[in-house]
Chains A and B, each alone.
Chain A
Amino acid sequence: MSKNTPFKSRTAQCGTLESSDCLVTISESETSHIDYRGANAGIFRKRTEAIVKELLDESDLTSVAVSIQDNGALEVTIRARIETAIERFLQGR
C-alpha cells in the first residue's frame, strides 16, 4: 500500500444512499480534494475532512478525490465506509 503501487482502477465506492449510511467515492485525480455533501455537510465538515485526511495518510494515498454523500451516518459508519473504499481503490476493484 505504498506510493509506488500502481493504481489499477480509476474509482472505487463503498456504502449506500440509504438513511443512516453514506456513499463514499474515491477516484484518481490530479489534485486532492474532499467533497462532503448531505444534510450534515455544514456541521460535520471539519470532522469528516479530518477523518478522510487521516485515513488517506495512513494508506499513503495522494492525488485522489474523495466524495461523500452523507445521509445521516454516524461517525463510526463514515469511517468504516471510507476505509473499505480505500481498500477497494487500492485493490483495483
Chain B
Amino acid sequence: MNLITNGKGRAVPTDVPGWGKFRAYKSPFALIEEEPLRTRGCPAMKAARPGEAKVTRSLKDAIQRSGLRDGMTVSFHHHLRNGDAVLPMVLETISEMGIRNLTLAPSSLTDAHDCVVNFIKKGVVTKISTSGLRGELGAAISRGELDVPVIIRSHGGRARAIEEGSLPIDVAFIAAPACDEKGNLTGCMGKSACGSIGYAKVDARYASHVIAVTDDPVPFPLAPKVSISQNEIDQIVIADHIGDPAKIATGAARITRNPVDLKIAKNAFDLIAASGLIDQGFSFQVGVGGASLAVASHLREYMEDKGIRGSFGLGGIGGYMVELLEEGLFDVLYDVQSFDANVTSSLLENPRHMEIDASLYANPYTKGCMVNDLDVVCLAALDIDTDFNVNVLTGNDGVLRGASGGHCDTAAGAKLSVILAPSFRGGVPTIKEEVQTIVTPGETIDALVTERGICIHPRREDLLEAALKAGLPVKEIGRLKKEVEKITGRPETPEVDRDHIVALVEYRDGTLIDCVYKTRNT
C-alpha cells in the first residue's frame, strides 16, 4: 500500500485493496471548506401495490426475498447495546444459507457481538465498517484475523458515508422493539424497548432493502410514536427475541462516589462555569457515567441557583438529563441514543424529548448538524498527547477496545470541548508523548481536566485567562505529564507491526486521520 503523511504526521494509505481510494486528513475543517458540496447517493424508488404483505416468521425467507448475495453489504444498529440478539441471529442464518464475503456495516459493535469472530473465520464476513471494536472481536482484529482493514467511522462520519454512497447498504436489518404489519416501527415501546433508534434511521432511508426484525408485533397503525415509517420498510420478520431487556436498558446510572472522578467533575464544572458559557439558552452534552455524569449534577445545582434555562441537551441521553428536562432546566432534549429505562418512557411521552437521526446529530455535510450548535461537551479519553490529540480506540497494549462514536463530531462542533480523564489509570499515565491512535485531533479540543490539574490548549488564551482569574488549578500539559511520570514511570509504546494495518481511522469528513496496526505481543 502507498502511504503518505497526513496533517497529523501519521502515515495513511491512499488506496486500500478491498475499499478503494482515500484522502489524507488535513485539518478539522479543511475539506469542508474546500469542498462544501457532496453528491448524494440515492437508493432506488420502489413501488408497492396496495395490500402487499410484508410480514414473515422466517428470517431465511426474508433474506432470500431481499436478494442478498455474496459480496454485498449488510447493516445493523447497536441501539440494543450489550443485549442485542439480532446481529448474531441474522449472521447465523446468512451463514447457514451459504452466503459469503459480506461487508458488515453496523453503527457499532458491542460486547454482544463477539460471535463476529467466528463469522470472519467462516468467511461470511470479510470486511467491516464500524464505530467501535471491543472484547474478543477487537482482540481478533488486532491480531490480524481480518484480511481487509476495518474502517472506523464516527457517528457523523458513518451517516455521511451512507448518504454520499461511500458505504452503500444492500440490506439493512433494523431491530424494531415495536413494529406494526406495515412496517411502522419505534424503539420506544415493546418488551425490548431501547429508546431512540437514531442511527438506524439513516440506514432505513438509504439502504436498498430494509428488513425490520421485531419480537413485539403491534396492531396497525403504530401509535403514538413512529420512528421509521412504513414507506422505508421492505419486510418485517417476527422473531421470539430480539434482545435481552436486562442488558438493553440498564438501571439509571447513579452519580459516582469515586473520589478521583468527583474531583475531576468538580474541576471540569468549575472550568465550564469560568468560561461564561452557562447562561440562558445554554446547550450541553455529557457522557452517561463516571466523572461526566457528576458534572451534570454540579450543572443542575448551578442552573437551579441562578435560574438559568438551557436550550437543549444532546446525546447519548441518560436518565439524569431526562430529570433536568423535566425540571425545566432545558427546553428540549435531542436524543440519538438512549440509555436507562426511564429515557425510553420520556422519549415516548414528552414532546420536548425528541428523537434525532445520526445525520442531523453529527453529519458535517448537512445544512446544520446539531453538534454545530453545542456550547459544551464533556468527553472521555483513553489517552491524550501533549498536542491534545485524543485516542478513544486502542488500549495501552495497542489492542482495539473502544469506539469513535460521536467524539470527533462533538469536539469539532462544540464551543467548548472538555476531556475528562484521570491523570493515570491502572498505573499508566493518561498523557503520552504521542498517542498510539489519533481519533480526535487536538485542534478541536479545548481542555483536559484531570484530578491533578486542568490543562488548557494553548490556542485558547481566552479560556486560560478566565481559568486563572477564577483561581482554577491550571497546569501546562507537559508539566502535568512529567509530574505523573514521576510516580508511574514512562511506559513504552506497544509493539506493533507497521507493515500490517488492521484498521483505518476515518475522520468525520472521510479523510484518514490514522491507522491501527497489528499488535505483536497479544
Contacts and interface: CB of A to CB of B under 8 A. Distances in A.
A42 interface: yes
Interface stretch (A23-31, A59-67, A71-79, A83-91): A71-79
Interface stretch (B141-149, B201-209, B421-429, B444-452): B421-429
Nearest to A51: B489
Contacts of B398: 42
B478 interface: no
Contacts of A73: 427
A74 B488 CA distance: 5
B39 interface: no
Nearest to A79: B489
Contacts of B522: 42
Contacts of B326: none
Given A72-B425, A72-B426, A39 B492 contact: no
A8 interface: no
Contact of B489 (A19, A42, A44): A44
B489 A39 contact: no
Contact of A75 (B487, B493, B494, B521): B487
12 contacts: A40-B426, A40-B428, A42-B492, A43-B491, A47-B489, A47-B492, A72-B427, A72-B428, A74-B427, A74-B488, A75-B487, A76-B487
Contact of A44 (B424, B487, B491): B491
Interface string B479-510: 00000000111111111000000000000000
Contacts, number: 55
A10 interface: no
A28 to B, nearest CB: 28
Given A40-B491, A74-B489, A76-B487, 18 more contacts: A40-B396, A40-B426, A42-B396, A42-B398, A42-B495, A43-B396, A43-B493, A44-B428, A44-B489, A44-B492, A45-B492, A46-B492, A47-B491, A47-B492, A72-B426, A74-B427, A75-B487, A75-B489
A40 B489 CA distance: 12
Contact of B428 (A43, A71, A77): A43
Contact of B427 (A20, A45, A46): A20
B164 interface: no
Contact of A39 (B396, B488, B493, B495): B396
A42 B487 contact: no
Query: Top 8 closest A-B pairs, CB basis?
Result: A72-B426, A75-B489, A43-B491, A72-B427, A42-B397, A47-B489, A74-B487, A43-B492
Nearest to A47: B489
A39 B427 CA distance: 10
A42 B521 contact: yes
Interface in A11-52: 19-20, 39-40, 42-47
A2 to B, nearest CB: 30
Contacts of B396: 39-40, 42-43
Interface string B409-449: 00000000000000011111000000000000000000000
A19 B173 CA distance: 42
A43 B488 contact: no
A46 B492 CA distance: 8
B426 A39 contact: yes
Contacts of B426: 19-20, 39-40, 71-72
Contacts of A75: 427, 487-489
B397 A43 contact: yes
Interface in B238-286: none
B521 A40 contact: no
A23 B331 CA distance: 53
A81 to B, nearest CB: 12
Contacts of B490: 47
Interface string B388-399: 000000001110
Contacts of A72: 425-428
Contacts of B493: 43
Residue of A43, A71, A72, A76 contacting most chain B CB atoms (<10 Å):
A43
A41 to B, nearest CB: 8
B397 A39 contact: yes
B446 to A, nearest CB: 29
B142 to A, nearest CB: 12
Contact of A42 (B424, B488, B494): B494
A17 B214 CA distance: 45
B435 to A, nearest CB: 13
A11 to B, nearest CB: 24
Given A75-B489, A76-B487, A43 B424 contact: no
A47 B490 CA distance: 8
B427 A40 contact: yes
A74 B424 contact: yes
